[in-house]
Amino acid sequence: MEALSAQAQPYVLLLVSSVALLFLHVFLQGGIATLDRGLAWNAGPRDQEKKAGGVLAGRAERCSANFRETYPAFVGLVLAAMIVPTSGLALAGGWLWFAARIVYVPLYLAGVPYVRSMVWLVSLGGLAAMAISLVW
């Protein structure tokens, strides 16, 4: 059991860091949405959907949704890498995904085309590296 714990330790740090990034997305999107729609909307039951009025609020929503599309795959790959003996490629791929997802946020909010898409592809490359290290 201790061997598993030692193997899992760097992945636990990566996983906890990714949860912090998830919180960043939630608070950033929520804060910008509140500025856009008002405090009464945020505190209310939100029974009727109210579209984002500002460009930044819409970008923050889409950026958060984009993160949540690949996050389950990342979590699954990290958990698998904790259990299955892997090369250093799994951990490197995980940190690559994480770093790219951090860089992606300001690029998306600023509306930077092409570079943002390249950074997203880099994050997918990190997931691919993790998956490859698990099966090879």
- CB under 8 Å, gap of 24 or more: what pairs does 100-107 form? 100/126, 101/21, 101/67, 101/70, 102/21, 104/63, 104/66, 104/67, 105/24, 105/25, 105/28, 105/63
As for how many domains the chain has, the answer is 1
Query: Is residue 128 scored above 80 in pLDDT?
Result: yes
Per-residue pLDDT tens for 51-66? Answer: 778 999 999 999 999 9
Per-residue pLDDT tens for 66-93? Answer: 999 999 999 999 999 999 888 899 999 9
What is the model's pTM?
Answer: 0.91
* CA torsion through residues 108, 62, 43, 26, sign: negative
Tell me which of 45 and 133 has the higher pLDDT: 133
CATH number at residue 65: 1.20.120.550
- Domain extent, residue 105, equals 2-135
What is the per-residue pLDDT for 2? Answer: 64
The residue assigned the tokens 């740090």 is: 13
